[in-house]
């Protein structure tokens, strides 16, 4: 089973374990080409496309602001870790995922999973796009599908500009997802708890703290 970024991730908690923008990521500009003119001046042009940079490099940008008792899991747990276009499309789960991600100029992504002894989960997704329109577009897609297809209730996210929140509680447990764009990145933080453990209010706080920490890590200014 696979961790899903948007709809399939949040359809059922069982899936959680079954499973170009600014160049502040520390790497070179993707596809950068420098040419020198006859007068000695140099011009640098930059291109950006899916899979033109190593998604593993995003790991250095991940926040780790999770509650005490949670432990980060290896990338082979829930098939997390680096995400290229093919993996991002699989995680999206819909037939048009590759087309949509390509149109939105998805570049690369990364996922991280934390667990505690109670079986509660924290999941972080960071997707990088080639411009600021990509995160906005993908955020709209996720919001529509979560509310119309997956039955999530939209909720208010306090103190985080541009953030959206979604929650669902049923016999399988409670789950909260909060999302926000920053620059060329789309960030989603998810908190899940089995029945009889954490309530929605606590999960909301956890997800909001992780989201805020990740946005600050990507845009420290």
The alpha carbon of 54 is separated from its chain's Cα centroid by a whole number of angstroms, namely 16
pLDDT value at 146 more than 90:
no
DSSP letter (8 states) at residue 87: H
pLDDT value at 198 more than 90:
yes
Report the 10 Å Cβ neighbour count for 199: 11
Q: How confident is the model at residue 41 (pLDDT cuts 50, 70, 90)?
A: low
Share of the chain above pLDDT 70, in %: 78
Mean pLDDT of 127-154: 92
Residue 164 to residues 131, 176, 196: CA-CA distances in angstroms? 20, 11, 26
Mean pLDDT of 11-40: 41
Mean pLDDT of 140-145: 88
Beta bridge partners of 155: 165
Q: In b/e form, how buried is each residue of 89-122, taking b as 16+ CB within 10 angstroms?
A: bbbbbbeebbebbeebbbbbbbbbbbbbeeebbb
User: What is the reported pTM?
Assistant: 0.81
> Which of 100, 115, 93, 97 has its CA nearest to residue 190?
115
Q: Rounded to 5 degrees, what are φ and ψ at 174?
A: -120, 145
Q: How confident is the model at residue 47 (pLDDT cuts 50, 70, 90)?
A: confident
Mean pLDDT of 86-94: 90
| Sign of the dihedral through C-alpha 96, 93, 140, 24 | negative
pLDDT value at 14 more than 60:
no
What pLDDT does 35 receive?
40
Residue spans of beta strands (DSSP E) within the chain: 33-36, 42-45, 71-72, 81-83, 106-115, 121-129, 153-155, 164-170, 173-182, 185-193
Mean residue pLDDT across the chain: 83
What pLDDT does 15 receive?
38
Tens of pLDDT, residue by residue over 57-75, are 999 999 988 889 999 999 9
What pLDDT does 7 receive?
38
DSSP letter (8 states) at residue 60: G
From 39-53, 140-154, 174-188, the region with the lowest mean pLDDT: 39-53
Domains present along the chain, CATH in parentheses = 7-19+53-218 (3.40.1000)
């Amino acid at each position: 089973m696979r961790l899903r970024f948007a709809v399939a991730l949040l359809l059922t908690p069982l899936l959680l374990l079954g499973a170009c923008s600014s160049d502040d990521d520390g790497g070179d500009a993707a596809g950068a080409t420098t040419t020198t003119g006859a007068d000695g001046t140099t011009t640098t042009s930059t291109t950006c496309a899916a899979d033109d940079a190593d998604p593993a490099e995003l790991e250095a940008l991940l926040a780790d602001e999770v509650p005490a008792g949670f432990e980060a899991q290896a990338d082979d747990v829930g098939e997390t870790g680096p995400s290229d276009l093919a993996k991002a499309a699989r995680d999206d789960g819909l037939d048009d995922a590759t087309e949509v991600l390509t149109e939105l100029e998805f570049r690369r992504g990364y996922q991280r999973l934390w667990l505690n002894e109670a079986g509660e989960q924290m999941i972080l997704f960071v997707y990088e796009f080639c411009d600021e329109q990509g995160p906005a577009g993908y955020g709209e897609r996720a919001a529509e599908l979560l509310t119309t297809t997956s039955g999530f209730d939209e909720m208010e996210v306090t103190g985080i500009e541009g953030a959206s929140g979604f929650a669902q509680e049923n016999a399988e447990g409670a789950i909260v997802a909060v999302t926000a764009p920053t620059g060329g990145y789309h960030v989603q933080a998810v908190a899940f708890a089995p029945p009889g453990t954490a309530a929605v209010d606590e999960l909301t706080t956890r997800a909001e703290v992780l989201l805020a920490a990740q946005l600050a890590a990507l845009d420290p200014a």
